[in-house]
Structure 1
Amino acid sequence: MSLAGLAIVLSLIGGVGLAYLTAYVRWQPLKVVLSRLPSLGFSVPVFWMGLLFIQLFAFSLGWFPATGNQGFSSLILPAVTLAIPSAAVYAQVLQRGFQGVWKEPYIITAYAKGLTRAQVQARHAFKNAALPLLTLIGLQVGNTVSGAVLVETIFARSGVGRLAQEAVLRQDIPVVLAIVAVSAAAFVVVNLIVDLLYPALDPRIAHTPKVS
């Protein structure tokens, strides 16, 4: 679960950061390049990306161990490999969200009040552009947990994903059921947190009309 947890954090940081930067940049050539990066991120197969990272960062540069569970450094490459597809999806959805809010009346009003582009994006545009992202986070958690099975196999890590694979091959039904139950519970908890965060970003959801 440490691999999936770190991958979720990295995917949020990378995806939100890329979309935020893309929305802020004014120079059109750079904006086009940044907006195309998410398509590259989720079109590359995870297993190929993992093998590429092992060859480049482990064998060629020697920055990280290629396999195993030797401390935090051995977690970096698998977590980044697992995070990139989700980060690409987050970035693409948030980019579309920013495109939809820039011409809203409240954005124009914020500019009329003298706020800078950075202030408008941070205080007004981001909260509304991020609403579709919240729903997507809840859905992507399941993909991240399931993707850990393949990533842990590629990097020869001992974890829940590899345990699930070995349990299926051994037909160890109790272990498979336990892993499915824990994964389902984590999925439910994350989606519950997402539902609780919605009113904080959109007060209209928290508003309860009075019944006369």
Structure 2
Amino acid sequence: MARFLIRRLLWSGPVLLGVLTLVFFLIHLIPGDPIDVMLGERAAEADRAALREALHLDDPILTQYGRFLAGVARGDLGRSLTSQRPVAGLILARYPATLQLAAAALLLSLSIALPLGILSAVRPRTAVDAGGLLFSLFGVSMPTFWLGPLLIILFSLKLDWLPVSGRHGIASLVLPALTLGLGMSAILVRMTRSSLLEIFPKEFVLAARAKGLPERRVILRHALRNALIPLLTVVGLQIGALLTGSIITETIFSWPGLGRLTIQAIQSRDYPLVQGCILAIALTYLLVNLLIDLLYAAADPRVQYE
């Protein structure tokens, strides 16, 4: 186990370096000048040049890249161009809101997908199975940028049950979590169904039923546990989708998280802040996938890492 963790952590370094390099050069290729955003297009050329020199934006691109990597190696992500506050502090202030939204969306999707997927597998080619398939197609087909405003119109403007935007308690979390969680639950429903249908004909399931065990115990303890490996894989991939999908969702609902901060940084051409936000998302994605790999052994003792 220790050797596996060390190997994975060592491989994470080149991955993060590749992400940082790609983001650094792509953000500098985006049309627009942060000086124009900060001073306006009508600012005097002398003021523009002075600000560009103060922010070291007049240095060659490779010099800026080397300075950025050196700062990351020291744990210094630089300062925001617009607010002049440390990028790390801005990210840490917004990070809990994104984690809260992602956790709520994941919990919501699992609470929908697992029961519906199990019912679809237990009763294949029935009305329940057809309903699960219809829900899955419906959830996958709805983009978040369409579902979010639709939920706002229905539950906030028409019914006045939930707040439109902001982060003001549990009620404000419902609509963003529902927007993110429905698409993920639609994928997990079909994965749960297909995994269980592959497990049901196995000998150990037949033996458990032959012993006279209750059907609920056979399904939950014997069949579902052995079907968790593909489910864990999909959940790990979908958590990455939650982090990236939250960029749109947080913008729609004005959720003060990392995704909305990323959009604001891109709009203001705040290079250090964009790079810091993408680094935080990439690092979270790597850690989540490492955790999923470790859960494989807990779900299936046959999985060995050495």
TM-score for the superposition, normalised by structure 1? 0.91
The 8 Å contact of residues 141 and 187 in structure 1, kept in 2 or not, is answered as yes
In the other structure, the counterpart of 1:71 is 169
Distance in 1 between residues matched to 2:288 and 2:131, nearest whole Å: 32
Whose radius of gyration is greater, 1 or 2?
2
Residue type matched to 2:300 in 1?
D
Deviation at 1:116, TM superposition (A): 2.3
Alignment of 1:1-212 (within 5 A): 1=98, 2-25=100-123, 28-206=126-304
Deviation at 1:11, TM superposition (A): 1.9
Alpha-carbon displacement from aligned partner over 1:114-143 (angstroms, at most 9, x marks no partner): 012211101111011121011111111111
The 8 Å contact of residues 150 and 161 in structure 1, kept in 2 or not, is answered as yes
Residue type matched to 2:303 in 1?
I
Residue type matched to 1:170 in 2?
S
SS for the counterpart of 2:235 is helix
Deviation at 1:25, TM superposition (A): 4.4
SS for the counterpart of 1:158 is coil
Distance in 1 between residues matched to 2:260 and 2:249, nearest whole Å: 9
In the other structure, the counterpart of 2:58 is none
User: After the TM superposition, which segments of 4 or more aligned residues of structure 1 sit over 4 Å from their partners?
Assistant: none
Q: Aligned pair in 2 of structure 1 residues 77, 207: CA closer, same or farther (>3 Å)?
A: closer
Deviation at 1:77, TM superposition (A): 0.3
Q: Aligned pair in 2 of structure 1 residues 207, 5: CA closer, same or farther (>3 Å)?
A: closer
Identity over aligned residues, as a percent?
37
Distance in 2 between residues matched to 1:42 and 1:207, nearest whole Å: 34
The 8 Å contact of residues 198 and 205 in structure 1, kept in 2 or not, is answered as yes
Deviation at 1:207, TM superposition (A): 8.4
TM-score for the superposition, normalised by structure 2? 0.64
Structure 1 gap segments, 5+ residues each: none
Quote the RMSD (CA, aligned, Å): 1.7
Distance in 2 between residues matched to 1:130 and 1:153, nearest whole Å: 33
Distance in 1 between residues matched to 2:176 and 2:215, nearest whole Å: 37
The 8 Å contact of residues 107 and 124 in structure 1, kept in 2 or not, is answered as yes
Distance in 2 between residues matched to 1:198 and 1:92, nearest whole Å: 20
Residue type matched to 2:120 in 1?
T
